[in-house]
Chain A
Amino acid sequence: MTASRAEEDRHLVASFLAGDQSAFDSIMEAHEDRVFSLCLRIMRNREHALDAVQETFITVFRKAHMYNGESAFSTWLYRVATNTCYDQLRKHKRRRTEAIPEGRDPADQHAQDEFAAIELRPELTSALSGLPEEFRIAVVLSDVEGFPLADVAELLDIPVGTVKSRVFRGRKLLAESLRNFRTDSERQNNDA
């Protein structure tokens, strides 16, 4: 997050709180893709990620006055997004037996494959998905979304030391998983 972006965000939030509706639209336009990317990697499901993005911005709209300006607005926003994802993950865990929503638009080709727009190699997708949730989220925030460790700590509301531990252990598990995947594929190729 550049200084100018942070400054612009601060200005937009002030305008929004002063009553400028278009400022909220600008905030949304500036951050929606990154919020989506974050939500997608946490939720691992496009539909759920889209729901989380929607819920995040509705929460931001309603609670923008609670942003105290101590950290960058984007950090606050992504924290809202992260918490929203956690809430939704909890809900989905409770309703795991329910049918998968069918609300995907068939005309939207990218939405056919929920990982299509993530542009990951299949083995990397699989390895990331296989990480324990707390490690995966820390790795995603740090190494995929590029948040500094201090920001990740703030987003997840945990100490920086814990973030480091999760990130390093998550990376180790990821690399081991990828190595196993390669070994398995080589074995299959040799067998064939």
Chain B
Amino acid sequence: MHEHDLSLIGAYAEGTATEPEALRAQEAMDECSVCQQDFELQASALTSLSEVTPAQMTDFERARVRRAVRGEISATTITATRATPSLASRLLPRLAVAAVGIAVVGFVGNQFLPNLGGSDTAAERTFDDAATTEAVQEEAATFDTTVESAPFELAESDMAEEGTAAAGVESPQADEQAEALVSAQMSPSELSSLMPVDGTRLPDDVNAEQSAPGSLRPVALTSSDGLVLSVLSEPVPFLCVGAATEQFGAEGSLDVAGLGTIDGQVVEVFSFGGAARAFERDTCAVVDSDLDLPS
């Protein structure tokens, strides 16, 4: 009775055994029916597995994965772009005001108080301050340029424009829109924590610019008071097109209405004719099958 060595038999079957190992395997098989059977099973499995051809994605699947990855990458980088230059853009106006103030004080000092002494020093200081301000502005500009040309910041040119726009907005409303833009390109978990809208119905006065799901062009849902509910751009993948198509039963006339949240869940909203349904983004389960959509 010998100890069955499956590793030895396996290596022999696949042809990776050394010469001494091969001899031992042969001896074992000659003397032991269990080892002989093990060898046959190993050889049989190897023959069967050799018939397996590598699995491949379909073109649709490949495109979907690439779009999703790029979308996620863009979301990360745009968020960073949005957050970083805002510091510089907040500082610049204050520095400019300070520089103007100092220049005015210096000018007044020079013109009206020539004999009080120290004017040269004041003028010099003003010049120095202005120069410092210029240096800061230059530095900030350099900083901005660095941020805008940062690698992997944006995957596509249209995204680049949106990202730059998001970084450059100044008005509160535009700021909100930019924030929503950024939010719309975040991952679902980030999105759910940032999206400002959390209702069971889309507002009646929403102005929806819709598009067919095949193209997934940018979609904006904007209420009349200017609040951007969601701004979607191409890299944001819609994961529930298939489910929506099945639900509505009419591919081609289905429209992407937008992305939002319902009770904290991130949902994709699709419309068909006058009806709209929300699908939970993670599972594509219907969350709301009777949404009001603006005509």
- B150 cross-chain contacts in A, Cβ below 8 A: 19
B208 at the interface (CB under 8 A from A): no
* Size category, B interface: 35 or more
A164 contacts B55, C-beta separation under 8 Å:
no
Knowing that A33-B54, A99-B285 are A-B contacts, what are 8 other residue pairs whose CB atoms are under 8 Å apart, sorted by A's residue number? A21-B152, A32-B57, A103-B241, A105-B242, A106-B245, A111-B58, A120-B51, A171-B10
Q: Give, as a whole number of angstroms, the nearest-CB distance from B9 to chain A.
A: 8
- B68 cross-chain contacts in A, Cβ below 8 A: 54
* Size category, A interface: 35 or more
Chain B residues with a Cβ under 8 A of chain A: 6-7, 9-11, 38, 40-42, 44-46, 48-58, 60-62, 64-66, 68-69, 72-73, 76, 150-152, 155, 239-243, 245-246, 251, 283-285
A164 contacts B10, C-beta separation under 8 Å:
yes
A11 at the interface (CB under 8 A from B): no
B7 contacts A62, C-beta separation under 8 Å:
no
B10 contacts A36, C-beta separation under 8 Å:
no
- Which residue on chain B has the smallest CB distance to residue A37? B55
- B42 cross-chain contacts in A, Cβ below 8 A: 168, 171-172, 175
B44 contacts A108, C-beta separation under 8 Å:
no
Q: Which of B60, B66, B240 contacts A103 (CB 8 A)?
A: B240
- A99 cross-chain contacts in B, Cβ below 8 A: 283, 285
A156 at the interface (CB under 8 A from B): no
Task: Name the prevailing secondary structure of the B interface residues.
Answer: helix
A158 at the interface (CB under 8 A from B): no
**Can you report 12 A-B residue pairs in the complex whose CB atoms are below 8 A from each other?**
A37-B54, A37-B56, A58-B72, A62-B76, A98-B283, A102-B284, A104-B242, A106-B246, A127-B48, A164-B10, A171-B46, A178-B44
